[in-house]
Structure 1
């Protein structure tokens, strides 16, 4: 039996709870100790003390104490609730849910436990459990609207749309008076209900509901957009035309409205005149509207296109709009339009050689030079010598133009000269030191040139000067993904795999934080009456790892771990440069500096409130691996690679690079079925990809050589694999080579396959060297070839690098 507290000690226990809620942890511990001094076996107090200790960062001690509390009182819902909260804080959600359920059985009426359980269930996407919890919460508090909305959302997430709609309808039936127009929660609930009706496919009922309730809704734009969509879906074309025209009158620069209006008007795709008439109407109605003048260029052809393009281009160049080329470059997939735009820009330039009184001619000439420079810098019309010539002329006319200087830096980048590109972009940055964007571009180009320290100083110009840990700490706090990615890739290029992995680990952790951040919004969104935004957030979170930045960082991390597996290196060789003694000194110095900064931060926080001196949130954890040495010294690199790879294969299945990386990991782990799955997925996505052919050869060879494959596995692989054991792989590789003999990338993969098949090293080296003589070889492919030679530990690598340098003297990679 649990010990009963006296009235004085019961009051003291309530103060423990209050101190915990107010984050006054030292006072809470002191009050708990006073109770335990007289009642050492009081489980609830022991549990609360464990909870406070966990907030102070003493996780292991907190779990030990919580288990003791359970032994003292197994039937205390407080002890079980606290036990669940400890697991929740350590991200062990499954165990936390078990503890909450046990606490709820002991105290079925506890709304706090029920709410915590429901939040964890939706966090884990346990829709059935969440639905049950929401039913109980509604029964306890039926007077609160957010309880009804929460139940509707639970049904929605479970896929039961009609039941979700019925819940909202039931609540509306309980209202004695219609809520005022200013009731934001009611307005959002109305639109959420309309969403549910629409998702059920009942368009007519969705329109009727919108017509009845939409007029007084605060979200006028959404009401107008949905009404137009419903009218079109129902075939009421005349009304839909009026609805989309009303939207265009509201925002004539929204291109989607034009697309939808064309569909409603049922204008044939080849009827250019009819489509142009629609745009001309709005160009005349809204003279400052850009979309009405630019969008016709997408479908116009021949002389009609030329006339419209001339009018648009002349207008934009006269105004000196820097984004003119960016607005038009999507047209370059059409050779006629690409050539026509260049001709028009050259004609404009020829007609504007003099100087106008107000400088308009000069401004237009500089804009035309800038446009032509961008034209020749674009990959579909690339001539970098001409691009440099025109951008230099533009800079001569306006030496202080940041846009012109940035384009010159991009031209150097496309030439492969990262050094000059970095210098040119830094020059552009210095032209406007108050612009954060150009500052970021300068840092990015410095990272591309492997200037990590310089780039950090550049970024430090716009980070918080008082940030503990310097600019990098602030960039981590701000979750600056692009910088962390570029920084990690730069370290990887330099061979500093420790720091590279540290950056990729930071990106992985940021996505973990984003995954966990939704925890607070499960209640916040309902409290604020934002059901639609909440559903949108849930769907976004479900596909979080599809994010481009995650894919890029994960693929880079997998490459690094593969390199560690293929070529293990000792811990002291992971840092970049210096001998082992110097590296150890650098590690020690970095750790001391980090500890000093953290100690100062903790002291500063303690001065503000002595009760928070040991609080975990107020002081960051000391970095025990400042140079990433422990990450690089992993004994199981393939297991670490799987941490990044698993989300890729789950959420980025349409990315061929993800499948290629998956094969590379699984083939090394001798997981042949999984490797085959990735290979087949890669083949479906891009059967002509050079790496897919290379991996096909690699898998067949591995199956032929590995004598320890279980017979059942071998049967399954052979049943699905279209290259059986009797296939002449050398002949297959030769046929692939012959078929793609004009593609340097494919030829390089064929050479690598040839090497795997056992061909003489000298023959393969000679074939790689011959790549440089191909007409369409690029310095990027030559860089891959050089990397291949180095991976073979070829003695011809330096000679190849020199030959590539002679062919591309400006490319930094071969310098």
Structure 2
């Protein structure tokens, strides 16, 4: 058996003159993406030098670009073994790893390549981008400094080094680099956008350093010399800097900005701040200024709206009346949304209600008159009814809201907003089928409106009508897509993924729910990956300020409500699977819906055709030289069953929740979910931290109460004490949350006594009792106290109580449902299976007249729903 070649032998790299020329040609062909010819050239070299490591790697790289990834990667690995000291083989391997999103591994390969070619500009640039992607700012400064040392005449290298210092927190060095860079400039033309952006960045750095006088001087000189072309940015920087310097010119600067855009909230806040007025602390003085602006800019809504936030009592009513009347007269659909934030003040809430009710009374058409009052627009009465319907729906007075909507629909049966409001009201009242039907009526009024189409699909999903929702979504998605859902997922539609995930979860199809939630996670991973190209592009184009803002946004990416919702929902499913492994084999309704099964077959066929086409093609249409290296996502688990049966559900949940420990610190649901995972993983320090953080946010939270008892109960039943340092900290936390000497039963009882009129507290007490081993009868007795008249019970909590009784296999579920059905007269959530089936069928019928649902049949009307007649 012959010996393997020694990888470090120089002979493996030596090529004859002809093959050396071919190798240079191969590099050029790869750069120009002439892959077929590149492959032939590589084969020519290897025919004479079959163990040439660099050629083997380049051939592998070409094959990867041509879609033959496995074959190509194997060749690259072989090439590395043949020549471990070549920077080319390590660079190629780094490119492959980067295409697989293995950024840490790619950086190691690039670092290895730099050992053998430390002054390679391409390598250094790639290393800098990877260090930025991984937020390794110390190393980034060194790399950028080396690039500048090698090519000091390139403007980009100066700016890149300044940004590296900035990201590393060294603003003083950032300033020094910028000053040195500006000394090298000669004959810069006026209105040079790149130079303008650099100067604005310099001003920004000086402002962040607190050197406001110097920043203002640079700004004024640059503006006068026409070196900065962004006039709005000049005005904004100048106003801020003058305020910081307590200059008398600051007031005028802010006024100029307000005149420039009187609808910008930040300009008014800046003006008031310049007068040392905080909107919350000095409402009277601030209100005086806002009144002046309202007079100066009568068409601007911002000063009048800000005034409503500050005013109170009779003054509030005086300001609110013309604001509301103007909105109703103009027919502004978003007027209620605009004013909703004022409802936190009960006094303002009642004042707004009185104002709009008065307007309704004054604008109600008199049947005895041939025409309405000339002092008001004919539609004012309609929009008044619409506002009041939203108002009462928000206050949970659903019957009153629906009554007002009936009047409005009789007045103008062709206004989609009335039906969308009706759908929202019915949804809040617990009538998911009526809500779906009402939203469909809105859609039928304008079949070309994508918004209405999307809303109708969303409401169908909430009613469990997933296939029907998919049919609606297909009206506006690509016709050649495997399915509407696949197209929406490709377009990164978070609303679709979250709504369908929730629909599957409610139906008990946890496998498909997890598929949707993990798709949301993958989208955020894509958002994170997408920034990679901008590390080079933004610095080349000198869009520095926007680039820094983007990096800050990326650092807080997973604080997005879409990610938080998906992470919490998925983690709860993983925890449930860990607690009850049988759920992993439970698959109601046969898994995927019919539409989904058809879509999966179509997607599989399309994927195969795409892969075959990639293999046949020798070129790539991508403009990014590394784009062809990216791995196409292949769904190896279309039904989500592998995901559901994963052997590490808690680790998967922990990975989803980890970003929330820093990005959702004020979200108590996140800390409770983190506790649920940590305690089951035996991470007692993390569990203690989660309990402490949750307790600091809301000491009386019902879910937290259950977790505190769960933690104490868990600690008391461990086979052996928790080892230090976790043990003492965990026990100390529990002793702080539960007073020493108080038993769990007493603690639970005291919580119930304190919150005896809260339905969620009653549910929490029952859950805690069950956890401590209370009998089923005792738990049921506690649960049924929610039916007392004094207990504040809503639909959401009622559904949670129903789910809990089902979970503990209570024989009194039907009894509770009957009581809830009588209590929530509009809701259809607690109907029997037969009644729900009839309502489901009715929600899908097409018996609409002009977009208005006609009265259901007598049998359907007997079900107690108010969705039929309008």
In which range does the TM-score fall when normalised by the shorter chain?
over 0.9
2:805 is equivalent to residue 789 of structure 1? yes
2:294/2:304 contact within 8 Å kept: yes
Counterpart residue number, 1:394? 408
Q: 1:295 pairs with 301, 306, 312, which one?
A: 306
Give ranges in structure 1 of 5+ residues lacking alignment: none
Deviation at 1:798, TM superposition (A): 2.9
Task: Say if 1:588 and 1:167 are closer, same or farther in 2 by CA, change over 3 A.
Answer: same
Counterpart residue number, 1:750? 765
Counterpart residue number, 2:173? 163
Deviation at 1:569, TM superposition (A): 2.7
Deviation at 1:22, TM superposition (A): 3.9
* 1:492-507 paired onto structure 2 within 5 Å: 492-507=505-520
2:497 is equivalent to residue 484 of structure 1? yes
Deviation at 1:619, TM superposition (A): 10
Deviation at 1:56, TM superposition (A): 4.2
Counterpart residue number, 2:189? 180
Deviations 1:752-801 (A, max 9, x none): 11222222211111211221224311121111111111221222223322
What is the aligned length? 805
- Secondary structure of the residue that 2:131 maps to in structure 1? helix
Q: 1:384 pairs with 392, 398, 406, which one?
A: 398
Deviations 1:485-517 (A, max 9, x none): 111111111111111111111111111111111
2:680 is equivalent to residue 668 of structure 1? yes
Counterpart residue number, 1:573? 586
2:56 is equivalent to residue 42 of structure 1? no
Deviations 1:307-347 (A, max 9, x none): 22222222222222222222222222222222222222222
Task: Say if 1:369 and 1:461 are closer, same or farther in 2 by CA, change over 3 A.
Answer: same
Task: Say if 1:27 and 1:500 are closer, same or farther in 2 by CA, change over 3 A.
Answer: farther
Deviation at 1:556, TM superposition (A): 0.4
- Whole-angstrom CA distance in 1 between matches of 2:503 and 2:132: 39
Counterpart residue number, 2:105? 95
- Secondary structure of the residue that 1:112 maps to in structure 2? helix
Task: Say if 1:567 and 1:31 are closer, same or farther in 2 by CA, change over 3 A.
Answer: same
Once the two structures are overlaid, the 10-residue window that deviates more, 518-527 or 798-807, is 798-807
Deviations 1:601-643 (A, max 9, x none): 4466678x55469997899555322211211122222122122
Deviation at 1:284, TM superposition (A): 3.4
Once the two structures are overlaid, the 10-residue window that deviates more, 636-645 or 529-538, is 636-645
- Whole-angstrom CA distance in 1 between matches of 2:744 and 2:377: 66
Counterpart residue number, 2:640? 628
Task: Say if 1:736 and 1:121 are closer, same or farther in 2 by CA, change over 3 A.
Answer: same
Once the two structures are overlaid, the 10-residue window that deviates more, 800-809 or 221-230, is 800-809
* 1:800-811 paired onto structure 2 within 5 Å: 800-811=816-827
- Whole-angstrom CA distance in 1 between matches of 2:182 and 2:118: 28
Deviations 1:561-606 (A, max 9, x none): 11212222376633x3149xxx899999766543322233446667
* 1:732-751 paired onto structure 2 within 5 Å: 732-751=747-766
- Whole-angstrom CA distance in 2 between matches of 1:454 and 1:813: 20
Task: Say if 1:772 and 1:52 are closer, same or farther in 2 by CA, change over 3 A.
Answer: farther
2:56/2:76 contact within 8 Å kept: yes
2:549 is equivalent to residue 533 of structure 1? no
- Secondary structure of the residue that 2:581 maps to in structure 1? coil
Counterpart residue number, 1:67? 77
1:595/1:622 contact within 8 Å kept: no
Deviation at 1:40, TM superposition (A): 0.4
2:707 is equivalent to residue 698 of structure 1? no
2:531 is equivalent to residue 518 of structure 1? yes
Q: 1:204 pairs with 191, 213, 222, which one?
A: 213
2:329 is equivalent to residue 315 of structure 1? no
1:663/1:679 contact within 8 Å kept: yes
Task: Say if 1:19 and 1:498 are closer, same or farther in 2 by CA, change over 3 A.
Answer: farther
- Whole-angstrom CA distance in 2 between matches of 1:619 and 1:720: 47
- Whole-angstrom CA distance in 2 between matches of 1:567 and 1:393: 51
- Whole-angstrom CA distance in 2 between matches of 1:90 and 1:387: 54
- Secondary structure of the residue that 2:433 maps to in structure 1? helix
Higher helix share: 1
Task: Say if 1:573 and 1:298 are closer, same or farther in 2 by CA, change over 3 A.
Answer: closer
2:67/2:614 contact within 8 Å kept: no
Deviations 1:152-207 (A, max 9, x none): 00111111101111111101111222x22321111111111111111112222222
TM-score (norm 2): 0.88
2:260 is equivalent to residue 250 of structure 1? yes
2:701 is equivalent to residue 685 of structure 1? no
Counterpart residue number, 2:744? 729
- Whole-angstrom CA distance in 2 between matches of 1:474 and 1:130: 39
- Whole-angstrom CA distance in 1 between matches of 2:388 and 2:424: 14
Give ranges in structure 2 of 5+ residues lacking alignment: 1-9, 366-370, 832-870
Q: 2:41 pairs with 31, 50, 61, which one?
A: 31
- Secondary structure of the residue that 2:464 maps to in structure 1? coil
Counterpart residue number, 2:231? 220
Deviations 1:96-133 (A, max 9, x none): 22221221121122111111111111111111111111
Deviation at 1:813, TM superposition (A): 2.6
2:362 is equivalent to residue 351 of structure 1? yes
Counterpart residue number, 1:108? 118
Deviations 1:497-547 (A, max 9, x none): 111111111111111111111110010001111111111111111121111
2:577/2:584 contact within 8 Å kept: no
1:704/1:725 contact within 8 Å kept: no
- Whole-angstrom CA distance in 2 between matches of 1:288 and 1:605: 58
Deviation at 1:678, TM superposition (A): 1.0
* 1:115-134 paired onto structure 2 within 5 Å: 115-134=125-144
- Whole-angstrom CA distance in 2 between matches of 1:585 and 1:471: 13
1:28/1:52 contact within 8 Å kept: yes
2:774 is equivalent to residue 763 of structure 1? no
- Whole-angstrom CA distance in 2 between matches of 1:417 and 1:22: 61
Task: Say if 1:10 and 1:711 are closer, same or farther in 2 by CA, change over 3 A.
Answer: closer
- Whole-angstrom CA distance in 1 between matches of 2:348 and 2:593: 61
2:194/2:541 contact within 8 Å kept: yes
Task: Say if 1:65 and 1:188 are closer, same or farther in 2 by CA, change over 3 A.
Answer: same
Once the two structures are overlaid, the 10-residue window that deviates more, 507-516 or 6-15, is 6-15
Q: 2:418 pairs with 404, 422, 426, which one?
A: 404
Task: Say if 1:408 and 1:254 are closer, same or farther in 2 by CA, change over 3 A.
Answer: same
Task: Say if 1:470 and 1:18 are closer, same or farther in 2 by CA, change over 3 A.
Answer: farther
Once the two structures are overlaid, the 10-residue window that deviates more, 111-120 or 771-780, is 771-780
Task: Say if 1:24 and 1:431 are closer, same or farther in 2 by CA, change over 3 A.
Answer: farther
1:598/1:620 contact within 8 Å kept: no
Deviations 1:76-115 (A, max 9, x none): 1111211222222223322322221221121122111111
Q: 1:324 pairs with 318, 335, 347, which one?
A: 335
Deviation at 1:433, TM superposition (A): 2.0
- Whole-angstrom CA distance in 1 between matches of 2:101 and 2:620: 23
2:426/2:434 contact within 8 Å kept: yes
- Secondary structure of the residue that 1:434 maps to in structure 2? coil
Task: Say if 1:155 and 1:119 are closer, same or farther in 2 by CA, change over 3 A.
Answer: same
Deviation at 1:462, TM superposition (A): 1.8
2:269 is equivalent to residue 259 of structure 1? yes
| Higher-RCO chain (CA-CA 8 Å, sequence separation at least 6) | 2
Task: Say if 1:521 and 1:271 are closer, same or farther in 2 by CA, change over 3 A.
Answer: closer
- Whole-angstrom CA distance in 1 between matches of 2:185 and 2:250: 34
CA-based RMSD of the aligned residues comes to: 2.7
2:559 is equivalent to residue 550 of structure 1? no
- Secondary structure of the residue that 1:813 maps to in structure 2? coil
Task: Say if 1:764 and 1:520 are closer, same or farther in 2 by CA, change over 3 A.
Answer: same
Task: Say if 1:760 and 1:490 are closer, same or farther in 2 by CA, change over 3 A.
Answer: same
Task: Say if 1:263 and 1:128 are closer, same or farther in 2 by CA, change over 3 A.
Answer: closer
Task: Say if 1:400 and 1:670 are closer, same or farther in 2 by CA, change over 3 A.
Answer: same
